[in-house]
């Protein structure tokens, strides 16, 4: 199953969403453009409207997304990335803190795998296609 994380920023506010229903760029970017245009210059974004746009969205981020999306209402920007795995070293006192899911990595340190932004996705063709289809 393909999953994604979405962060929407607006004038100092930040909303985090998980997207669990195959959120590939060609499907997601047109919806993000609608959000960006609908909430242009608004500081009060009704969360119910965001949930209506993405019926499979839930609040919060998932731990292993395939895609990461960011919308900045104030800057009028949309960005998308594929994800990559990364190793995170656990603190030296991880055992005292009761951390679970920790194992020894190739570097000999205890830690765990996490996800980070990988290759940035060129979404310009999805934007152009959406603008073209909207004007017809």
Per the domain annotation, does 24 fall within a domain? Answer: yes
Global pTM value: 0.77
113 domain-assigned: no
Helix boundaries (H) for the chain: 25-38, 47-53, 124-135
Q: Does 105 reside within a domain? A: no
- Residue range(s) defining the domain that contains residue 60: 4-83+118-135
Per-residue pLDDT reduced to its tens digit, 48-102: 776 666 666 777 787 789 999 999 988 889 999 999 988 888 888 888 888 777 8
Number of domains in the chain: 1
SS3 40: coil
64: exposed, middle or buried (C-beta count within 10 Å: 0-12, 13-18, 19+)? Answer: exposed
Q: Which residues contact 54 (CB under 8 A, 6 or more apart)?
A: 6, 17, 19, 31
**Domain membership flag for residue 22:** yes
Residue of higher predicted confidence among 43 and 17: 17
């Amino acid at each position: 199953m393909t999953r994604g994380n979405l962060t929407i920023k607006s004038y100092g506010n930040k909303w985090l969403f998980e997207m669990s229903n195959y959120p590939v760029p060609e499907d997601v970017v047109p919806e993000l453009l609608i959000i960006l245009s609908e909430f242009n210059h608004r500081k009060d974004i009704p969360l119910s409207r965001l949930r209506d746009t993405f019926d499979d969205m839930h609040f919060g981020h998932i731990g292993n997304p395939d895609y990461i999306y960011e919308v900045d209402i104030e800057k009028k920007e949309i960005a998308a990335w594929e994800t990559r795995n990364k190793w995170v070293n656990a603190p030296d006192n991880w055992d005292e803190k009761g951390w679970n899911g920790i194992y020894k990595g190739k570097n000999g340190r205890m830690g765990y795998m996490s996800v980070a932004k990988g290759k940035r996705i060129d979404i310009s063709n999805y934007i152009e296609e959406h603008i073209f289809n909207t004007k017809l």
